[in-house]
Structure 1
Amino acid sequence: MTTPITGTAAGVPFTALGPADGGPAPLIITWHMLDAPRSDPAFAAALPMHGLPAWRVHLGMPMCGARMVNGSMDAALELVHKDPLMAYLHPFVEQAVSEFPAALASIREQLPVGEGPIGVLGGSLGGAVALRVLADTQTPIFAGAVVNAAIRMRSVVELFPGEYPYDAASTKAVDSLDFLAKTDVLAERAPLLVVSGEQDHPGLRADALTLTEAMGERAELLSIPGMAHPLAEEPGIEPAPQLPHARAVDDGLIAWFGRHLRSLG
């Protein structure tokens, strides 16, 4: 196991884990959940993917981890109460995606990862970021994976109390994050592993099954029996011992990315 490296990439905090020898290797970028584990070091501890011949760089999401306001998630929770879609979900994804190109360039300057195709991984809301990078950027990607992901943002909005009052702007925003409508583009871009806990929120679970089926041979489904939505115990900000369900996810990711790393030659 390698010691985590922490730093910032164009202002984005990251936790990096290198290959066993710490030398040049391909790159896998991840975006964490906003449920536990809700920071880049906590996500790195939950899904370290040890043994892969790759650098795994876990990026911090907005207002999480090192970017929490006054050291807590209270400011983010205030945005949830203000407007879960337009103040929280949509802008967090948009900011993470907009930060990605400069962060990637900075990581390439700091770590021996080369200029080749990368892997991408996202959990929960971070899954929407990974899917957006797949669907809406030209970054070369050799493989992707999502875990209990926000595949269709309307399904996520439905998890919040009350009926959401959609208008023209919020309808446009939520539809821009409907990746069931972008399966053809996703299938063209890279093979995708869809990891889904069998006890995840029913809407998110249904979206995972639908996405896998729609992508055909370009996607694989990994169902984790007994796993609900989080991958770690609360509060999920600091690194913690890997839970059994997270270990099962981690094993699946190691096998998935290992297979596609070998295809890079």
Structure 2
Amino acid sequence: MDKRIEGTAAGVPFVALGPAEGAAPLVVTWHLMPGSAEQMASALPMGELHAWKVHFDLPMFGKRQLEGGFAEFFRLASEDNVLNVVEPVTEQAAAEFPAAVEELRKRLSISDGPVGVVGGSAGGAVAYEVLTRAEVDIAAGALVNPVTQLPPVVAANERRFEVTYTWTEASRAVADRYDFVRRAGEFKHDLLLVIGEDDDISITEPAAALHSALTDAELVLVPGLAHEVYDEAGAPTASAGAVDKLLTEWFQRHL
């Protein structure tokens, strides 16, 4: 069984699962939104993978929850989800990644060599951004129902919550910056796209478009998987085990 360590690295709260003895490679994950490092560690522990699996809390979530909790988060999101949530969360999480990895290497028995990165949903946008920045030596990436383009997700939320989002020049600039289909040429790593067959087209169609634009990518459709890998209570969904197996096998090949 993996050893479990909780703490912060360069200010980033984490849950780490790793071998009891000896050095091992590093895999970093960012959870779906909403959620937490704790829930990601429970749903996708990758227990059969000989590696340190370090699950980070996104800004505004987990141990970094805003004062006022989810009520404050939803207030910000309802005012302008793109500018108040998507941009600051993605930018901060990507920017703090190199320093967090550097500190983890000092504190955990992480072997030399490139790391793996995993992102789910909004955490997938962080993983995409980290992969394109290439500020840390990365072996490969895995994305689980990632946000690949913002406008389809915004439109899906409009349908779901019966609201209208008013695009501005600033929010369109953010959407353009985080359009990873447009930026397909910036990816230099092998990518695994794990997509739920039952997820919304706002997730599935952009992921398929990115896959078509890349030569070093695999796309796997998981039967029965909708968007989440953990439920509202934080328990793994019925399809989480299948996703966990895919991630484990992917990083066994690439680390």
Range class of TM-score, shorter chain: over 0.9
Distance 1:195 1:166 in 2: 29
Match of 2:175 in 1: 174
Change (3 A) 1:63 1:26: same
Distance 1:194 1:122 in 2: 10
Deviation at 1:164, TM superposition (A): 2.7
Distance 2:139 2:154 in 1: 31
Match of 1:258 in 2: 252
Match of 1:244 in 2: 238
Counterpart residue identity of residue 4, structure 1: R
SS for the counterpart of 1:16 is strand
Of 155, 160, 172 in structure 1, the residue corresponding to residue 157 of structure 2 is: 160
SS for the counterpart of 2:104 is helix
Q: C-alpha deviations, 1:20-69, integer Å up to 9, x for none?
A: x432111111100114xx00011001000012111110011011111113
Match of 1:203 in 2: 202
- Give the aligned CA root-mean-square deviation in angstroms: 1.5
Change (3 A) 1:182 1:22: farther
Determine if contact 1:63/1:76 at 8 Å carries over to the other structure. Answer: yes
Task: Tell me, yes or no, if structure 1 residue 121 matches structure 2 residue 118.
Answer: yes
Residue ranges of structure 1 left out of the alignment (5+ in a row): none
Determine if contact 1:183/1:215 at 8 Å carries over to the other structure. Answer: yes
Counterpart residue identity of residue 130, structure 2: V
Aligned residues: 251
SS for the counterpart of 1:83 is helix
Determine if contact 2:228/2:237 at 8 Å carries over to the other structure. Answer: no
Match of 2:10 in 1: 10
Over 3 Å off, 4+ runs: none
Distance 1:81 1:168 in 2: 18
Counterpart residue identity of residue 209, structure 1: A
SS for the counterpart of 1:159 is helix
Q: C-alpha deviations, 1:214-264, integer Å up to 9, x for none?
A: 112x0001111121111111133xxx3x33200000011111111112xxx
Task: Tell me, yes or no, if structure 1 residue 106 matches structure 2 residue 103.
Answer: yes
Distance 1:141 1:54 in 2: 14
Determine if contact 2:24/2:109 at 8 Å carries over to the other structure. Answer: yes
Counterpart residue identity of residue 168, structure 1: E
SS for the counterpart of 1:143 is strand
The 5 Å alignment of 1:1-265 reads 1-19=1-19, 21-35=20-34, 38-70=35-67, 72-161=69-158, 162-186=163-187, 189-216=188-215, 218-236=216-234, 240=235, 242-261=236-255
Deviation at 1:70, TM superposition (A): 4.5
Distance 1:144 1:192 in 2: 5
Deviation at 1:138, TM superposition (A): 3.0
Distance 1:116 1:75 in 2: 40
Change (3 A) 1:51 1:79: same
- What TM-score do the two structures reach when normalised by structure 2? 0.94
Determine if contact 1:84/1:160 at 8 Å carries over to the other structure. Answer: no
Deviation at 1:166, TM superposition (A): 2.0
Percent identity of paired positions between Structure 1 and Structure 2 = 43
Distance 2:110 2:50 in 1: 11
Counterpart residue identity of residue 215, structure 1: L
Counterpart residue identity of residue 247, structure 2: L
